[in-house]
Structures are given as C-alpha cells and as structure tokens.
Amino acid sequence: MVERLEGFCSENDWMRAYNEMNEFEKELYDWGAVIIKFWVQIDKETQLSRFTDRQIHRKSNGKSQMKTGVIEKNGTSMKKQSMK
C-alpha cells in the first residue's frame, strides 16, 4: 500500500485498509474463489532505472506508458469499451 510507505495516511488508516483487504479476500475465498498472490521485488537501482527509462520514453513520444487495461489489436482498451 503506497500510502503507508509514502506517509500519506495514519497508522489507523492503513491498519483499517489492510483489515478491509483481508476481509474482502476472505469473502472471495468463502465464495469458492482461488486466490493467488505474487510477491514482486526489485532493488532500488533497477526500480530507478525502469522509472527513468519510462520518463525518457514518454517525453520522446508524448504518450504515457502507464498500463491501465488490456489492449486489443486495434489499440483500444477493453476496459474503456466495457464502460460504454
């Protein structure tokens, strides 16, 4: 939870949020969902390198490189289509 790491919320806020996430996952599990969690960890140098590369690439082509949805062959986000 980025807010916790960046100091954007109090301890009570992030503890509440973690409890809500755990309760939601338990509900999913109780409904029969299979929950798979992945831990992804990279060192600070790699993270900075990737961030810098994205900044440079975004500036060179004028587009954001953030991935917010599945992209179809025609380049349209499926998430945006489903909201129509």
Residue 72, SS3 per DSSP? coil
**pTM for the whole thing?**
0.47
Residue 30 corresponds to which tokens in the numbers above? 């109780």
Which run of H or of E encompasses 18? helix 11-30
pLDDT tens profile 5-48: 778 889 999 899 999 999 999 999 999 999 998 988 889 999 89
* 80 and 69 Cβ atoms separated by less than 8 Å: yes
Predicted local confidence at residue 50, as pLDDT: 87
Predicted local confidence at residue 79, as pLDDT: 47
- Calpha distance 76→69 (Å, rounded): 9
pLDDT tens profile 53-68: 888 877 666 555 455 4
Residue 51 corresponds to which tokens in the numbers above? 């961030």
Predicted local confidence at residue 84, as pLDDT: 45
